[in-house]
Amino acid sequence: MPPDTGSGRKIEKLGIFAGGGELPKYILAACRAAERDVFVLAFEGQTDPETVKDVPHLWTRFGNIGGALETLKGEGVGEIVLAGAIARPSLLSLKPDAATAKLAARLLKSAFGDDKLLGAVIAELEKMGFKVIGADELLEHLVAIEGPYGVHRPDAQARSDIARGVEVARALGSADVGQSVVVQQGIVLGVEAVEGTDALIARAKNLSREGPGGVLVKLMKPGQDRRADLPSIGPATVAAAGKAGLSGIAVEMGRALVLDGDEIARRADAAGIFVTGIKAQA
């Protein structure tokens, strides 16, 4: 029987769509601590096998997602969370089964950018009777706070670059392209598209100028459903930023996840860079 929340509402079994990165592991840890039943959908070539070690799961690919959803129903899953980066497959590689072909046809009628596609996915899941929740509902203690993680703070140049980054990230997000931008001394070194944040940081390293390092700014897209692809950073993001010579990272307070704030602060201090939560809403 599902555990009781104390208010009489039963906590449903959670289905986790586990993409790449560390976020699915944090969600699983939170569920273990809460003694919550889970079932994980792991995606071939994208999910870290360590994520699903000793956890009830099913390996699948996008072309079989229709059948995988039927498995979730059979497992008694009531709620679903989307967690971690998942690279969108090409139509040629999809090779859908019959159930997935019908689903894909509905999604592709209106979904183009990642946010629109994920929104369409959420709508379809809810039509099937699942409730989709945000990762931040499970990881409230990891939602970004205002101010620095660690001892370093942005100086005047970095604050100027953050302001420019917010402006560009909003425009980027309005076009449903990406969430992140790197700005150095007022110059936009790169914006995130399909490659993801880590690749953006690596690319910015090769384009950096002399002088103070650039700033990574990562924001929710305007109008984005926070249940889909909430911006997140982890210790690996900080390590990559340090290696790339960036001066720091800025994320939006209350609208991003900071995975392991203590470790992020430690790595930021060691690298001599800042990590900070900012107010960025218009």
Q: Tell whether the model's pLDDT for residue 108 goes beyond 80.
A: no
Q: Tell whether the model's pLDDT for residue 113 goes beyond 70.
A: no
pLDDT class of 273 with cuts at 50, 70, 90: very high
Q: Tell whether the model's pLDDT for residue 233 goes beyond 90.
A: yes
With 0-12 CB in 10 A as exposed, 13-18 as middle and 19+ as buried, what is 63? middle
**Rounded distance between C-alpha atoms, residue 218 and residue 249, angstroms:** 8
Of 138, 168, 200, the position where a domain reaches its end is 138
**Rounded distance between C-alpha atoms, residue 134 and residue 6, angstroms:** 21
Between the ranges 100-114, 162-176, 264-278, where is the mean pLDDT highest? 264-278
pLDDT, greater one: 123 or 234: 234
pLDDT digits (tens, 9 = 90+) for 206-224: 999 999 999 999 999 888 8
Average pLDDT over residues 127-150: 95
With 0-12 CB in 10 A as exposed, 13-18 as middle and 19+ as buried, what is 75? middle
Q: Tell whether the model's pLDDT for residue 114 goes beyond 80.
A: no
**Rounded distance between C-alpha atoms, residue 280 and residue 103, angstroms:** 36
Residue 263, domain member (yes or no): yes
Number of domains forming the structure of the chain: 2
Residue 25, domain member (yes or no): yes
**Rounded distance between C-alpha atoms, residue 169 and residue 183, angstroms:** 10
DSSP 8-state class, residue 48: -
Q: Are residues 171 and 48 in the same domain?
A: no
Average pLDDT over residues 91-106: 57
Q: Tell whether the model's pLDDT for residue 277 goes beyond 70.
A: yes
What pLDDT does 124 receive?
83
Residue 258, domain member (yes or no): yes
Q: Are residues 85 and 160 in the same domain?
A: no
What pLDDT does 7 receive?
46
Q: Are residues 52 and 110 in the same domain?
A: yes
Domain span at residue 38 reads: 13-138
Q: Are residues 159 and 264 in the same domain?
A: yes
Count of positions (residues) in the chain: 282
CATH of the domain at 178: 3.40.140.80
Q: Are residues 273 and 164 in the same domain?
A: yes
Average pLDDT over residues 11-31: 94
Q: Tell whether the model's pLDDT for residue 110 goes beyond 60.
A: no
Of 138, 157, 177, the position where a domain reaches its end is 138
Please state the pTM of the whole predicted model: 0.85
Q: Are residues 132 and 217 in the same domain?
A: no
Average pLDDT over residues 63-89: 86
Residue 118, domain member (yes or no): yes
pLDDT, greater one: 117 or 245: 245
Average pLDDT over residues 134-160: 96
Average pLDDT over residues 100-109: 57
Q: Are residues 238 and 177 in the same domain?
A: yes
What pLDDT does 282 receive?
54
DSSP 8-state class, residue 212: S
Residue 7, domain member (yes or no): no
Task: With beta carbons less than 8 A apart as the criterion, state whether 235 and 259 touch.
Answer: yes
What pLDDT does 99 receive?
58
**Rounded distance between C-alpha atoms, residue 166 and residue 44, angstroms:** 35
Task: Tell me the pLDDT of the chain averaged across its residues.
Answer: 87
Lookup: tokens for 204:
């910015």
Task: With beta carbons less than 8 A apart as the criterion, state whether 24 and 51 touch.
Answer: yes
What percent of the chain is modeled with pLDDT above 70?
Answer: 85
Residue 229, domain member (yes or no): yes
Average pLDDT over residues 150-172: 96
Of 82, 107, 138, the position where a domain reaches its end is 138
Q: Are residues 167 and 271 in the same domain?
A: yes
Q: Are residues 36 and 100 in the same domain?
A: yes
**Rounded distance between C-alpha atoms, residue 129 and residue 104, angstroms:** 18
pLDDT, greater one: 172 or 263: 263
CATH of the domain at 50: 3.40.50.20
Query: Cα torsion for 235, 241, 246, 249, to the nearest 10°?
Result: -40
Residue 94, domain member (yes or no): yes
What pLDDT does 164 receive?
97
What pLDDT does 90 receive?
52
Residue 61, domain member (yes or no): yes
Q: Are residues 170 and 215 in the same domain?
A: yes
Q: Using H for helix, E for strand and C for coil, what is the string for 124-172?
A: HHHHCCCEEECHHHHCHHHECCCEECCCCCCCHHHHHHHHHHHHHHHHH
pLDDT digits (tens, 9 = 90+) for 173-204: 888 788 999 999 999 999 998 788 999 999 99
